[in-house]
C-alpha cells in the first residue's frame, strides 16, 4: 500500500481525468508519429494498476531493465506535464503569463526585439489587471534588458516610468513576501502545537507576530497584501483563541473577494480556504444561523465552474464542506444524525487518498470519534481514537492529548474500571510531558481518580463538585481549549441530570436558536 503514495508517476497518472488521458494519447502520438511507443505502453500499464508494482511493470514493458524503466518513467512524467500544460494554459492566468514570457524570450533571442516588446507590453497589462506582480517583475526585467542593451526608439518617459514601476512593485512584493511568510509560519505553529496552551505560549506568539508584521503596514494597497494580512490575523487570533477577532478577519478575507470578483477565478484556492475559515469562526462562536447560511453558500459555490475547475479545488471544497457538516452536528447535538454521513465522508476520503494530507485525516478521525462519543457509542469512539493515538505524534499535539483524554472517558463510560487507574496515569503523564494541562483538565483527572467504582451517591457528589469547578472556567482564555475540543460541561451535566449528552447539547442548541446570535469567547474544535 505504501508504494501507492510514494511513486510520483503513479500518482500523476491516477490523478488524470478522462479528457486529460485522451489529450495525452493524442499529444504523444502526434509528436512522435508512432502508435506503439513504449511510453504509451507504460502509461496504459500504470493506468490499469490499483497499486504500484514495479515487478509487474518490468514484465509488461518488454526488453526493459530497471535502469531503462527508470528513464522511461522520467520521460513519461515529463511528457504528461507537457501535455497538461498545453491543455490547461487557457484555464490558468499564471500559465498564460509564463507562455507570453517564454515567447518574448524566444523572439528576443531571434533578434526580433520589437515583437518581443509588444508581447511584453500585452503581458504586463494582463499581469497588472490580475495583480500578478511576481510575474510582472520578470516581464519588466526582460523589458529593461532589451531597452538597456539595444536602441528600441522607446521614449525617455517610458523608460522613466518603467524604472519607477519596478521600484513600486519591488516594495509591494517585499510586503507580500513578509506577510505570506507570517501566515505560513503561524499555520505551521498551529499544525504542530494547536492553540496557545498558557501565558508563555501567548507571549511567544504575540512577540513572533509583532516582529514579523511589516512596519509599513499602513501602505497596504493591493489584493495580495490584504489577503495575506487577513490570513495572518486569522491564524494569530485562532491560535490565541480570540474567536471574535478570528471571525472578523475571516469575514474580511471573504469580503476581499466580493470586492475583487474576478480574482475568485484567479485565486480560487485562497477563496475556498477563506470560506472554510469563516465557517470555522461561526462554529467556534456557536453562531448557528450564520454557520448554516455560510454552509449553504459554500455548497452552492461547490457546483460552480470555478470550484470544479481542477482536482485541488474539488477535493478541498468537498473536505471543508464535510467538516462543516460534522461541526454543525457537533454544535447542535444531533450526533446520531451526523453519524449517518460518516460512510459518505470516508468514501470520499478513500477516493481522495492520494491527495489528502495526514493532518486532515487526523482531524476527521477526531471529529468522527466525538460524534460516536456524544451518541453513546463508546466502543466505536475508541476505534477512531486509536487511529490517532497509534499514529505519529508530530502533528497537532493538542489533538493527541485530547484523543487520549476522550479515550479515557470512553473506558470510564464502559465501566472498564480495572484499567482506568493505569490508563489515567498514562494519559496524565502524556499531557504533562506535552505541557498541555489546564485547570479544567486537572479537575477532570481528580474526579476520575476519586470516582472509580464508587457508590452512586459518592459519584453524584463528585460530579456536582466537578461541574461547579469547571463551569466558571469556560470563559477563561487559556481554559477554552478544554471546552473547544470536547464539550466537557455538557458531558458532566448529562451525568448530573441523568440524560444523554445528545439530549443536553440539543437542548442548548434549541435555546440558543431562540436568542440573538452569540459572539461569546467560547468555542469548539475546527
List per-block mean pLDDT (blocks of 10 residues) for the chain, which spans 526 residues: 61 88 86 68 88 81 74 89 84 86 89 88 87 84 79 62 77 85 89 78 89 79 90 94 94 95 90 96 92 96 89 90 95 95 91 80 93 96 93 74 91 89 86 73 81 75 86 71 80 91 92 62 44
Which one, of 81, 121, 129, 80, lies nearest residue 101 by Cα? Answer: 121
Report pLDDT for 522. Answer: 44
Report pLDDT for 459. Answer: 83
Which one, of 315, 212, 222, 326, lies nearest residue 273 by Cα? Answer: 315
Report pLDDT for 503. Answer: 94
Residue for cell digits 494519447?
25
Q: What is the four-CA torsion angle of 417, 419, 425, 431, rounded to 10 degrees? A: -100
Q: Which DSSP state fits 415?
A: T
Which one, of 122, 224, 121, lies nearest residue 169 by Cα? Answer: 224
Q: Contacts by 414-417 with C-beta closer than 8 Å and gap 24+?
A: 414/378, 414/379, 417/452, 417/453
Residue 284, all three cell numbers: 467556534
Report pLDDT for 229. Answer: 94
CATH number listed for the domain at residues 352-526: 1.25.40
Inter-axis angle of helices 311-332 and 358-375, to 10 degrees? 20
**In degrees rounded to 5, what are phi and psi of residue 232?**
-60, -45
Residues whose CB falls within 8 Å of the CB of residue 382, separated by 6 or more in sequence, listed in order: 407, 410, 411
Report pLDDT for 350. Answer: 85
Residue 61, all three cell numbers: 514493458
Report pLDDT for 272. Answer: 96
The CA distance from 58 to 251, in Å, is 54
Report pLDDT for 502. Answer: 94
Report pLDDT for 518. Answer: 46
Amino acid at each position: 500500500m505504501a508504494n501507492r503514495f510514494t511513486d510520483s508517476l503513479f500518482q500523476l497518472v491516477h490523478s488524470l481525468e478522462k479528457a486529460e488521458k485522451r489529450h495525452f494519447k493524442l499529444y504523444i502520438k502526434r509528436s512522435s508519429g508512432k502508435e506503439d511507443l513504449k511510453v504509451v505502453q507504460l502509461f496504459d500499464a500504470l493506468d490499469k494498476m490499483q497499486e504500484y508494482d514495479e515487478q509487474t511493470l518490468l514484465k509488461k514493458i518488454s526488453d526493459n531493465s530497471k535502469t531503462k524503466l527508470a528513464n522511461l518513467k522520467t520521460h513519461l512524467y515529463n511528457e504528461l506535464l507537457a501535455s497538461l500544460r498545453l491543455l490547461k494554459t487557457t484555464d490558468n492566468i499564471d500559465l498564460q503569463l509564463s507562455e507570453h514570457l517564454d515567447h518574448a524570450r524566444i523572439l528576443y533571442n531571434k533578434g526580433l526585439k520589437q515583437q518581443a516588446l509588444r508581447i511584453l507590453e500585452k503581458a504586463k497589462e494582463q499581469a497588472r489587471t490580475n495583480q500578478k506582480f511576481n510575474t510582472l517583475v520578470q516581464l519588466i526585467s526582460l523589458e529593461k534588458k532589451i531597452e538597456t542593451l539595444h536602441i528600441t526608439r522607446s521614449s525617455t518617459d517610458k523608460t522613466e516610468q518603467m524604472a519607477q514601476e519596478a521600484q513600486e512593485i519591488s516594495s509591494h512584493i517585499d510586503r507580500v513576501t513578509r506577510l505570506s511568510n507570517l501566515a505560513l509560519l503561524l499555520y505551521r505553529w498551529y499544525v504542530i502545537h494547536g492553540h496557545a496552551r498558557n501565558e508563555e505560549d501567548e507571549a511567544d506568539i504575540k512577540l513572533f507576530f509583532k516582529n514579523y508584521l511589516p512596519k509599513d503596514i499602513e501602505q497596504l494597497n493591493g489584493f495580495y497584501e490584504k489577503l495575506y494580512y487577513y490570513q495572518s490575523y486569522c491564524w494569530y487570533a485562532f491560535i490565541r483563541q480570540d474567536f471574535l477577532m478570528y471571525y472578523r478577519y475571516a469575514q474580511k478575507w471573504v469580503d476581499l473577494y466580493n470586492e475583487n470578483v474576478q480574482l475568485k477565478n484567479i485565486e480560487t484556492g485562497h477563496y475556498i480556504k477563506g470560506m472554510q475559515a469563516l465557517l470555522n469562526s461561526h462554529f467556534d462562536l456557536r453562531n448557528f444561523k450564520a454557520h448554516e447560511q455560510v454552509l449553504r453558500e459554500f455548497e452552492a459555490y461547490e457546483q460552480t465552474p470555478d470550484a470544479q475547475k481542477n482536482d485541488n479545488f474539488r477535493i478541498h471544497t468537498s473536505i471543508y464542506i464535510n467538516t462543516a457538516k460534522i461541526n454543525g452536528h457537533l454544535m447542535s447535538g444531533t450526533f446520531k444524525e451526523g453519524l449517518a454521513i460518516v460512510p459518505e465522508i470516508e468514501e470520499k476520503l478513500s477516493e481522495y487518498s492520494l491527495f489528502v494530507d495526514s493532518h486532515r485525516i487526523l482531524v476527521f478521525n477526531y471529529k468522527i470519534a466525538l460524534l460516536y462519543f456524544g451518541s453513546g457509542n463508546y466502543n466505536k469512539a475508541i476505534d477512531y481514537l486509536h487511529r490517532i493515538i497509534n499514529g505519529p505524534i508530530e502533528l497537532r499535539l493538542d489533538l493527541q492529548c485530547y484523543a487520549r483524554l476522550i479515550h479515557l472517558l470512553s473506558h470510564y463510560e464502559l465501566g472498564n474500571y480495572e484499567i482506568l487507574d493505569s490508563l489515567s496515569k498514562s494519559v496524565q503523564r502524556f499531557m504533562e510531558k506535552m505541557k498541555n494541562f489546564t485547570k479544567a483538565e486537572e479537575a477532570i483527572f481528580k474526579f476520575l481518580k476519586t470516582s472509580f467504582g464508587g457508590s452512586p451517591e459518592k459519584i453524584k457528589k463528585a460530579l456536582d463538585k466537578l461541574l461547579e469547578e469547571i463551569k466558571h472556567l469556560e470563559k477563561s482564555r487559556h481554559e477554552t481549549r478544554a471546552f473547544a475540543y470536547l464539550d466537557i460541561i455538557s458531558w458532566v451535566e448529562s451525568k448530573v441530570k441523568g440524560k444523554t449528552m445528545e439530549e443536553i447539547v440539543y437542548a442548548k442548541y434549541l435555546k440558543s436558536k431562540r436568542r440573538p446570535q452569540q459572539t461569546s469567547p467560547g468555542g469548539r474544535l475546527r
